[in-house]
Chains A and B, each alone.
Chain A
Amino acid sequence: MADPVSATACVLDGNAVGMPQLCGDWFANQIFWLLVTLVAIYFVLSRIVLPRISAVLAERSGTISNDLAAAEDLKRQAVEAEETYQKALADARAEAQRISGEARAAINADLEAAIAKADEQIAAKSAESEKQIAEIRAGAVASVTEVAKDVAVDIVQAMGGKADQTAVDAAVAARVKGN
């Protein structure tokens, strides 16, 4: 096998001799490129990335707190609207109660008046009826007296007697009165 000429004693035939980590020939190279890498990452982070991310985070928390405040505001408005609605409802209910109360009072008054009038008419009617009944009764008594006199005269004549009108009248009157 051709031995490739190596610039370092750390590699023999393409294989590592001992730990490559301890090969001093490579330290300077690694340290140099590491510093370049770190500086590159540091500048990318501090110039671009960190300001950007912290701005985004700040903006986000600002937006969130704004939204929360807006939500709080809307909630307050909703509560106010609810209160207004409840008040309007209570007012309307009171108004309705008042109106129905008035209507009831008016109806009651009308009803009382109608009843009173009806009572009056009934009283008038019944008084008139009583009067008529009294007249009828009086008429009836007179008729009974008349009929009784006639019947009495007829009975007396049928018995063959002579009917004295005056005596019969007196007797019937006495009998009717005796009742």
Chain B
Amino acid sequence: MAEPSEGGLSFHPMDQFIIKPLFGDAGDPVYWHTITNSTFWMALAVLSVVALFVLGTKGRGIVPGRTQSVAELAYGFVHKMVEDVAGKDALKFFPYIFTLFLFILFANFLALIPTSFSPTSHIAVTAILGFGVFFTVTIVGFVKNGPGFLSLFWVSSAPMALRPILAVIEVISYFVRPVSHSIRLAGNIMAGHAVLKVFAGFAAVTAVAPLSILGVVAIYGLEVLVSAIQAYVFTILTCVYLKDALHPHH
């Protein structure tokens, strides 16, 4: 690693992901109950949900106001997604899925505030979300269908000779689901924020500063898109997995 010379290129794109206690010194130990920067930004996500969905719908207007419209739009969007993808009987999981969607959406968007912290860039967070979905779906699958849930892995539309091979592939892909489900989200958010930081670091060099600022603006716009899309992707994949659990037969 070259020594940082002339105050120049020494960007640390990963520093923004450091977890530190919100109160006290930066070096203080982080226990499981310590209130950290991650805690703070998750709490902001909760507050945003409360602001939009509790305060925003206070009027209960038959003709909705602006905020209530947005809340109803989000509600309708996810409700329709669950119903269309996973079926009507999946609607009792709607609060759970809506919780996931809103947490990811607000955590992603709030992380776009400069100097903020992005909880969804951490694999620990997304892995809990992903494996939570995985275990929920698996348990629901066995409770609803009993051993019949295993027919998910037995592709009855394929030729008999291929079925055992396909079963192995299906089982592997089933167990890879939570991994890809969680790494996709964390990876996207982490990569985006790291790239932003790298571009921002180049702004210190006068020659490329305009280019780097343009790059920051462009990547920022992309990240706004990615924030929403990743929340959507995570949610719709949850619905797809739930559909497999409720209706395992191909």
Write the residues of chain A forming the contact surface with B, with a CB cutoff of 8 angstroms. Answer: 4-8, 10-11, 14-16, 18-23, 25-38, 40-42, 44-46, 48-50, 52-53, 55-57, 59-60, 63
Contact A42 B99 (CB under 8 A): yes
Of the four ranges (under 10, 10 to 19, 20 to 34, 35 or more), the interface on chain B belongs to 35 or more
| Complex alpha-carbon distance, A157 and B102, angstroms | 160
Using A16-B18, A19-B17, A33-B42 as known contacts, list a sample of 9 further A-B pairs with CB atoms less than 8 Å apart, ordered by residue number in A.
A16-B14, A26-B30, A26-B122, A28-B31, A34-B125, A41-B46, A41-B99, A49-B71, A63-B62
| Complex alpha-carbon distance, A96 and B163, angstroms | 91
Interface of A is mostly: helix
Contact A49 B53 (CB under 8 A): yes
Q: Which residues of A contact B162 (CB under 8 A)?
A: none
Query: Residue among A29, A48, A50 with the most chain B CB within 10 A?
Result: A29
Q: Which residues of A contact B72 (CB under 8 A)?
A: 53, 56-57
> In the complex, how many residue pairs between chain A and chain B have their CB atoms under 8 Å apart?
146
Contact B128 A21 (CB under 8 A): no
Contact A19 B128 (CB under 8 A): no
Contact A29 B30 (CB under 8 A): yes
| Complex alpha-carbon distance, A21 and B33, angstroms | 18
| Complex alpha-carbon distance, A142 and B43, angstroms | 150
Q: Separation in Å of the B119 CB from the closest CB of chain A?
A: 7
Q: Which of A5, A30, A56 contacts B62 (CB 8 A)?
A: A56
Q: Which of A26, A36, A44, A63 contacts B50 (CB 8 A)?
A: A44
Beta-carbon contacts of B78-115 to A below 8 Å, as 1s and 0s?
00000000000000001110111011000000000000
Q: List 22 A-B contacts (CB under 8 A).
A: A4-B26, A8-B29, A11-B27, A16-B15, A16-B18, A19-B14, A21-B121, A21-B122, A28-B32, A30-B19, A31-B32, A34-B42, A34-B128, A37-B42, A37-B103, A38-B99, A45-B98, A46-B95, A49-B53, A50-B75, A53-B75, A57-B72
Contact A20 B18 (CB under 8 A): yes
| Complex alpha-carbon distance, A48 and B62, angstroms | 17
| Complex alpha-carbon distance, A36 and B103, angstroms | 12
Contact A45 B102 (CB under 8 A): yes
| Complex alpha-carbon distance, A40 and B63, angstroms | 29
Contact B123 A22 (CB under 8 A): yes
Beta-carbon contacts of B52-85 to A below 8 Å, as 1s and 0s?
0110010011101000100110011000000000
Q: Which residues of B contact A14 (CB under 8 A)?
A: 15, 26
Q: Is B239 an interface residue (CB 8 A)?
A: no
